[in-house]
Chains A and B, each alone.
Chain A
Amino acid sequence: MSKPAKTLTACLLILVLALPCAGCWNRREIQDLSFVTAVGVDKGPEEGTLKLTVHLAKPFAIGSAESGGGLEKPFLVATSTGETTFEAVRNFIKSSPRRLNWTHNRFFLFGESFAREGIIDPVNWVGRDGETRRRTLIVVAYNSTAEELLQAEFELEPIPASGAEAILNAAQKGLSTVVVSTVNDFLINLKSDGIEPIGTRAQVFPLVPGKTDWDRTNIEGELKRTEISLSAMIAGSALFKEDKLVGFMDERETRGYNWIMGQVRSTIVSFNYPHRGNKKMGLEVIRMKSSIIPQIDAEKVQFKVKIDVQANIGETSWPAGSHGGADMIKMVEEKANAVIKGEAENALVKAQELNVDVFGFGREIYRSNPQKWAGIKEQWEHLFPLLNVQIEVNTRIQNTGMVRF
């Protein structure tokens, strides 16, 4: 190639390569986007439709909070209806000047009555769409619609989705009374045999309890918002049979579920201590692990769940140093074993009553003995409610804090 021809080719090449930099067909400028931070799904006004409620971040309001730009909330709530999830998502176009962007959405909320009829369509959309993420969290509104739940705000965090995420993370780490379930987990559990999906439970409550006419609190601090009347509590779990909600577990039952699944990170176990006049004491769980051991023989299938807990004595309702030595620690350990075992059994009973194998006992059989599972797979529906599970708890008290027992 001669030199001018080479130069010309190079220039043409640069031009061709520069073309896609402009973004081609699917270009989206940030000033035309509106970011969804949470979305709720409810039944629509007509039969067979659904209603989406979204939280959209208002970037100008977030920015103006620092410069004292008024009392604006940093988010807005918008709704849309459609026959399917995706149709409802597109229907936001009718009322939103900005295009909704889903890449930052962290929550998929479901109203209780909607969830009871099946949530596969929204969840499938999350798994299929290119903008939504499989790590989006699945939350079910307890006793309310998702729209009501999305009215809730948190006093210390201007964006509710961030607040809810912070609560969920902290509750998982410090209380272990929640279950964190992503769309990915949900889809896996939905498709696997011998396990049913589970979701997080959230509950909306009036911020000033005890008054019928909610006195709206005025907050004029850093956040410069006018009124917060509703807030939300994230605790417990929602049990699904396939994609349909069948019931909830409260906080204690959910912790029981977490004991069995080995998901308790840290929590406080409190009980009456019989050797000290039934006064209360509390243990701080440091770490735990559990193993689910299927015991399969020709006639029957049963399970053994071994729970190992390591805890510290966190509080006693009697003065420190007055209760003797190491043999007393043994008694505390035994009492704790009984309490934890009770919680785990309650969770199991709840799941067996609703006949939803959220623990994945069936999948455990499949994983350890696929041939056996192939034989009993069809009857699992009838076997699970009567399944014999022996729970064995072994608590070890490591220390008693800054003072002796």
Chain B
Amino acid sequence: MNMPDERITGAQLMSLMYISRIVPVAIVFPTVAAVEMAQDLWVVSLIGAVLSVPILLPLLFLGLKFPGQTIVQYSQSIMGNIPGKVIGLILVIYWLKIAVDVIYAVGDAYTIAVMPETPILVFIILSAFMGAYAARHGLEVIGRISLIFMILVALVGLLVVILPFESAKLKNLLPVMENGVRPLLKPVGVSLAFYAQFVVIGMVLPYLNKIRDGVRFSGYALLITGILIILFSVTLTVVFGVTAKDLSVPAYSLARMIRVANFFERIEVIVLVSWTLSAAVKLALMLWASSLGLVQIFGIPNHYPLVYPLGIVTVIAGYLLFDNHMEFISMFLRSAPFALLMVVSLIGLLFIVALLRGKLRSPGGI
């Protein structure tokens, strides 16, 4: 295969993971819709962040054992030709589904928040074009823009978390887990379903300039996203109390509450900036991963001809699949456990089979 010799740094890997995880939180935050009580939200975010580590570890381990191979390639090495390709295809479809979710979420959020009369198709096409354009230029481009955008998005995130303090009432966090652990299962599943999307770094790891950086920087990514999401959950609950659960676009609503010293207000547009930038990066990453996956499954010379058609597929799917916001959310919440189960069992399967076939003994051993 005639792939360009692309390299990304550990910090860029971190930013890709960070942005991928922050996109859903910054836009619709489906975990909010899944919790029974708003005050459970931060507990759910905490458990989700902790439980994401065992999902990520086998993935990193496999990446280290098969240097220079993407997850699509080493699943073929581990499982054999045909089963490996089936796994690869499932992953490609999964990434496309994530791209469809992102594309609809951002279009939906724009029509809810600022431009209700604009057809959602406009936002879907614009973001798909942005994402596909970046994806076509390869991982190096995506990595570089994501590092720049990460700083911007993190800054916006911090502002939105800290500045609404005037409306915050800490007592809204009580009582903690009134009905015990059971009601937490579903929202934790939703939260983990987003962490499961990190399976895409199986495509990114072979492009790291120093493979050892992968572990360190993905650890940083988990730490930063975990802390930010917990802070965001806390702020959401202390500001909106029981009504936090009713919000369509929580981050935007939170930014609308900002009013510091009676003059610093109406700054919610910065949230739109973070939506556009982060959704473009995540979309680019997913389109790039799925087109590269197809290349490696079917032995196509390069991924260039695939990117725009895949972009068009996501546009059509995003436009036709969901009728409205409520349907989008409920469909997402229903599919989340299956997505989580699928990713966890795929990684588990790959890991166990590799272990049984003795392919984990020496690095690069096939």
Q: Does A135 contact B (CB under 8 A)?
A: yes
A130 x B112 contact (CB < 8 A): yes
- Given contacts A16-B129, A368-B174, is CB(A24)–CB(B115) below 8 Å? yes
| Residues of A with C-beta under 8 A to B115 | 24-26
Measured between alpha carbons, how far is A192 from B239 in the docked complex, in Å? 14
- Total number of residue pairs linking A and B with CB closer than 8 Å: 58
Q: Does B3 contact A (CB under 8 A)?
A: no
With most chain B CB atoms within 10 A of its CB, the pick from A25, A26, A130, A182 is: A130
Question: How far does the Cβ of B183 sit from chain A's closest Cβ, in whole Å?
Answer: 12
- B: residues with CB less than 8 A from A are 112-119, 122, 126, 129, 133, 167, 171-172, 174-175, 178-179, 239-243, 253, 256-257, 259, 262, 266
B241 x A192 contact (CB < 8 A): yes
| Residues of B with C-beta under 8 A to A135 | 167, 257, 259
Measured between alpha carbons, how far is A367 from B116 in the docked complex, in Å? 39
Question: How far does the Cβ of A401 sit from chain B's closest Cβ, in whole Å?
Answer: 30
Measured between alpha carbons, how far is A370 from B171 in the docked complex, in Å? 14
| Residues of B with C-beta under 8 A to A18 | none
| Residues of A with C-beta under 8 A to B239 | 184
B241 x A188 contact (CB < 8 A): yes
Measured between alpha carbons, how far is A184 from B241 in the docked complex, in Å? 9
Mark A126-137 against chain B: 1 for CB-CB distance below 8 A, else 0: 010010011100
Measured between alpha carbons, how far is A371 from B167 in the docked complex, in Å? 29
> Which of B118, B179, B266 sits near A103, CB closer than 8 Å?
B266
Question: How far does the Cβ of A30 sit from chain B's closest Cβ, in whole Å?
Answer: 14
| Residues of A with C-beta under 8 A to B112 | 130
B116 x A130 contact (CB < 8 A): yes
Q: Does A389 contact B (CB under 8 A)?
A: no
> Which of B167, B178, B240, B241 sits near A370, CB closer than 8 Å?
B178
Q: Does A276 contact B (CB under 8 A)?
A: no
- Given contacts A133-B256, A184-B257, is CB(A370)–CB(B175) below 8 Å? yes
Q: Does A268 contact B (CB under 8 A)?
A: no
B243 x A187 contact (CB < 8 A): yes
| Residues of A with C-beta under 8 A to B129 | 16
| Residues of B with C-beta under 8 A to A184 | 167, 239-240, 243, 257
Q: Does A13 contact B (CB under 8 A)?
A: yes
Q: Does A191 contact B (CB under 8 A)?
A: yes
A191 x B243 contact (CB < 8 A): yes
| Residues of A with C-beta under 8 A to B242 | 188, 191-192
| Residues of A with C-beta under 8 A to B126 | 16, 20
- The 6 closest A-B CB pairs, nearest first, are A370-B178, A188-B241, A367-B174, A25-B118, A26-B115, A25-B117
Q: Does A35 contact B (CB under 8 A)?
A: no
Q: Does A107 contact B (CB under 8 A)?
A: no
Measured between alpha carbons, how far is A134 from B241 in the docked complex, in Å? 13
| Residues of B with C-beta under 8 A to A25 | 115, 117-119
Which A89-140 residues have a C-beta within 8 angstroms of B?
Answer: 103, 127, 130, 133-135
- A: residues with CB less than 8 A from B are 13, 16, 20, 24-26, 103, 127, 130, 133-135, 169, 182, 184, 187-188, 191-192, 366-368, 370-371
Question: How far does the Cβ of B257 sit from chain A's closest Cβ, in whole Å?
Answer: 6
Question: How far does the Cβ of A376 sit from chain B's closest Cβ, in whole Å?
Answer: 15
Question: How far does the Cβ of B164 sit from chain A's closest Cβ, in whole Å?
Answer: 10
Q: Interface residues of A: mostly helix, strand, loop or mixed?
A: helix
Known: A184-B239, A188-B240, A191-B242. 16 other contacts (CB 8 A): A16-B129, A20-B126, A24-B118, A24-B122, A26-B115, A103-B266, A130-B112, A184-B257, A187-B243, A188-B242, A191-B241, A192-B241, A192-B242, A367-B175, A370-B175, A370-B179
Contact sample, A vs B, 20 pairs, CB 8 Å cutoff: A16-B126, A16-B129, A24-B118, A25-B115, A25-B117, A25-B118, A25-B119, A130-B116, A133-B256, A135-B167, A184-B257, A188-B172, A188-B242, A188-B243, A191-B241, A191-B242, A192-B242, A366-B175, A368-B174, A370-B179
| Residues of B with C-beta under 8 A to A366 | 175
Question: How far does the Cβ of A189 sit from chain B's closest Cβ, in whole Å?
Answer: 8
Measured between alpha carbons, how far is A11 from B86 in the docked complex, in Å? 41
Give the residue name and chain of the B residue nearest to A371 (CB).
B178
| Residues of B with C-beta under 8 A to A130 | 112-114, 116
With most chain B CB atoms within 10 A of its CB, the pick from A188, A366, A371 is: A188
Question: How far does the Cβ of B180 sit from chain A's closest Cβ, in whole Å?
Answer: 11
| Residues of A with C-beta under 8 A to B241 | 188, 191-192
- Given contacts A134-B257, A135-B259, is CB(A26)–CB(B266) below 8 Å? no
Question: How far does the Cβ of A192 sit from chain B's closest Cβ, in whole Å?
Answer: 5
With most chain A CB atoms within 10 A of its CB, the pick from B112, B113, B171 is: B171
Give the residue name and chain of the A residue nearest to B177 (CB).
A370
| Residues of A with C-beta under 8 A to B113 | 130
| Residues of A with C-beta under 8 A to B172 | 188
| Residues of B with C-beta under 8 A to A187 | 243
B114 x A26 contact (CB < 8 A): yes
Measured between alpha carbons, how far is A130 from B133 in the docked complex, in Å? 32
With most chain B CB atoms within 10 A of its CB, the pick from A127, A134, A169, A187 is: A134
| Residues of A with C-beta under 8 A to B171 | 367
Measured between alpha carbons, how far is A169 from B166 in the docked complex, in Å? 14
Question: How far does the Cβ of A329 sit from chain B's closest Cβ, in whole Å?
Answer: 34
Measured between alpha carbons, how far is A20 from B130 in the docked complex, in Å? 13
| Residues of B with C-beta under 8 A to A188 | 172, 240-243
Give the residue name and chain of the A residue nearest to B239 (CB).
A184
| Residues of B with C-beta under 8 A to A134 | 253, 256-257
| Residues of B with C-beta under 8 A to A182 | 167
A368 x B175 contact (CB < 8 A): yes
With most chain A CB atoms within 10 A of its CB, the pick from B112, B115, B262 is: B115
Measured between alpha carbons, how far is A182 from B240 in the docked complex, in Å? 12
Measured between alpha carbons, how far is A371 from B175 in the docked complex, in Å? 11
| Residues of B with C-beta under 8 A to A26 | 114-118
With most chain A CB atoms within 10 A of its CB, the pick from B129, B167, B241 is: B241
Measured between alpha carbons, how far is A188 from B129 in the docked complex, in Å? 41
Question: How far does the Cβ of B117 sit from chain A's closest Cβ, in whole Å?
Answer: 5
Measured between alpha carbons, how far is A169 from B118 in the docked complex, in Å? 39
| Residues of B with C-beta under 8 A to A370 | 175, 178-179
Give the residue name and chain of the A residue nearest to B130 (CB).
A17
Measured between alpha carbons, how far is A192 from B245 in the docked complex, in Å? 12
Measured between alpha carbons, how far is A103 from B265 in the docked complex, in Å? 11
Measured between alpha carbons, how far is A371 from B178 in the docked complex, in Å? 8
| Residues of A with C-beta under 8 A to B262 | 169
Question: How far does the Cβ of A368 sit from chain B's closest Cβ, in whole Å?
Answer: 7
| Residues of B with C-beta under 8 A to A127 | 243
Give the residue name and chain of the A residue nearest to B118 (CB).
A25
With most chain A CB atoms within 10 A of its CB, the pick from B117, B171, B178 is: B178
Measured between alpha carbons, how far is A20 from B171 in the docked complex, in Å? 43
Give the residue name and chain of the A residue nearest to B39 (CB).
A367
Question: How far does the Cβ of B203 sit from chain A's closest Cβ, in whole Å?
Answer: 25
Measured between alpha carbons, how far is A204 from B257 in the docked complex, in Å? 30
Question: How far does the Cβ of A25 sit from chain B's closest Cβ, in whole Å?
Answer: 4
Question: How far does the Cβ of B259 sit from chain A's closest Cβ, in whole Å?
Answer: 6
Give the residue name and chain of the A residue nearest to B259 (CB).
A135
Question: How far does the Cβ of A49 sit from chain B's closest Cβ, in whole Å?
Answer: 25
